[in-house]
């Protein structure tokens, strides 16, 4: 059985190293120069990459353009022992994100969703049935921007629940929630694990206190994680809530930190660790990711294993 099936966006990331002055002085219609650049795979593959890096068995389901980026993306997944279940699109290019990263780690992003938006529920169903069951099925709000992909994400949740998987949902953006409130309520209604940042949680909670909202959802049987940046996260289960402190980091690039957090969290949960211990490891893993450029600058497997063993000696790291 797979540990996790990640359903979402196939994106290539163009990372441009910049500074605030450069971003503020961008000349539309002119030429703008950046200190350095990298082109790397990104999107939902970042969550899958973190999971596989730590030793989990994972697959990625999505849609790419039938182009050099799409083919490279699949090769990259296979090089990391991630099972690709990717549909090719002859009519659209592979999704592309341009990230302008400042010295303090903040970034400005320009996105072309490309073939992702053409992913249909029928394609999703065929690909999922070819993979078999998984402990977790991960869904992202970013993949709900447009039809028909939105329908594919909802269908992934339905199929996952029918097959006995736990559904994990990351809303992705507060603006997305504001634009599609009923749709997000629907996904939160059927998910088992909700992992959102503070801004997203405030929109979801509406007039409620965020902590009370988390406890309300957890009393309905859900696990709730609210990320609060460098301060760590709040976790809620069975009506209780607690704060898990953050980890100090010398941030270089925050791109992909949320994906790294989720990958580490699900890895620990796949080992049957409790939510608090899993969130503590996820805080550490995401903090270490920010100390290098790019969404997949993960701490080594050896350092990750050492952290888990020193913090939680009972953790069994070898997977069957």
Q: pLDDT tens digit string along 233-263?
A: 999 999 999 999 998 888 888 888 999 999 9
- Give tens-digit pLDDT for 81-120: 999 999 999 999 999 999 887 776 677 788 999 999 999 9
* The pLDDT of residue 292: 87
Please give the mean pLDDT across all residues of the chain: 91
Sheet holding 193-197, edge to edge: 83-89, 58-65, 2-7, 134-140, 166-170, 193-197, 223-227, 232-237, 240-245
* CA distance linking residue 89 with residue 260, whole number of Å: 28
**Which residues are registered as beta bridge partners of 38?**
15
**Which residues are registered as beta bridge partners of 95?**
11
The token pair at 188 is 């939160």
- Give tens-digit pLDDT for 140-184: 999 999 999 999 999 999 999 999 999 999 999 999 999 999 999
* CA distance linking residue 245 with residue 126, whole number of Å: 42
CATH of region 2-22+33-310, choose from 1.10.3470.10, 3.40.1390.10, 3.40.50.300, 3.40.1190.20: 3.40.1190.20
* The pLDDT of residue 177: 95
Span of 47-61, 100-114, 250-264, 306-320 with lowest mean pLDDT:
306-320
Number of helices and strands in the chain (H, E): 12, 13
What average pLDDT score do residues 223-240 get? Answer: 94
H/E element, 76: helix 68-79
Note if the pTM is more than 0.85.
yes
What average pLDDT score do residues 41-49 get? Answer: 96
Sheet holding 95-101, edge to edge: 36-41, 11-17, 95-101, 107-112
What average pLDDT score do residues 51-61 get? Answer: 97
* The pLDDT of residue 219: 97
| Domain boundaries along the sequence of the chain | 2-22+33-310
* The pLDDT of residue 38: 84
Instruction: Classify the C-alpha dihedral 90-47-52-149 as positive or negative.
Output: negative
* The pLDDT of residue 217: 97
The model's confidence at residue 230, banded by pLDDT at 50, 70 and 90, is confident
Q: Does the pLDDT of residue 280 top 80, yes or no?
A: yes
H/E element, 78: helix 68-79
* The pLDDT of residue 313: 57
Write phi, then psi, for 63 (nearest 5 degrees).
Answer: -135, 135
* Cβ neighbours, 10 Å, residue 309: 12
* The pLDDT of residue 314: 54
Q: Does the pLDDT of residue 319 top 60, yes or no?
A: no
* The pLDDT of residue 318: 45
Helix residue ranges, H only, 121-256 = 121-129, 149-162, 174-179, 181-190, 198-205, 210-219
């Amino acid at each position: 059985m797979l540990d996790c099936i990640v359903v979402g966006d196939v994106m290539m990331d163009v990372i441009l190293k910049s500074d605030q002055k450069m971003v503020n002085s961008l000349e539309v219609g002119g030429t703008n120069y950046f200190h350095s650049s990298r082109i790397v795979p990104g999107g939902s593959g970042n969550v899958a990459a973190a999971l596989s890096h730590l030793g989990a068995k994972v697959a990625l389901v999505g849609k790419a353009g039938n182009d050099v980026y799409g083919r490279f993306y699949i090769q990259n997944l296979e090089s990391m022992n991630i099972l690709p279940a990717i549909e090719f699109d002859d009519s659209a290019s592979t999704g592309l994100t341009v990230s302008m990263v400042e010295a303090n780690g903040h970034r400005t992003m320009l996105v072309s969703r490309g073939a992702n938006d053409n992913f249909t529920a029928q394609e999703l169903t065929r690909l999922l049935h070819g993979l078999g069951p998984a402990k977790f099925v991960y869904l992202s709000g970013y993949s709900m921007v447009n039809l028909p992909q939105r329908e594919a994400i909802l269908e992934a949740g339905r199929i996952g629940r029918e097959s006995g998987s736990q559904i994990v949902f990351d809303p992705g953006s507060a603006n997305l929630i504001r634009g599609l409130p009923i749709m997000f309520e629907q996904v939160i209604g059927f998910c088992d694990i909700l992992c959102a940042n503070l801004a997203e949680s405030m929109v979801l909670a509406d007039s409620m206190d965020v902590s009370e909202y988390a406890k309300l959802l957890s009393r309905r049987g859900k696990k709730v994680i609210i990320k609060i940046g460098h301060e760590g996260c709040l976790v809620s289960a069975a009506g209780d809530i607690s704060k898990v402190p953050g980890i100090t980091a010398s941030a270089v690039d925050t791109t992909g930190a949320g994906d790294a957090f989720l990958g580490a969290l699900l890895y620990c949960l796949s080992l049957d660790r409790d939510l608090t211990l899993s969130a503590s490891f996820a805080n550490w893993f995401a903090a270490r990711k920010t100390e290098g450029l790019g969404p997949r600058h993960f701490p080594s497997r050896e350092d990750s294993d050492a952290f888990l063993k020193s913090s939680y000696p009972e953790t069994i790291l070898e997977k069957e």
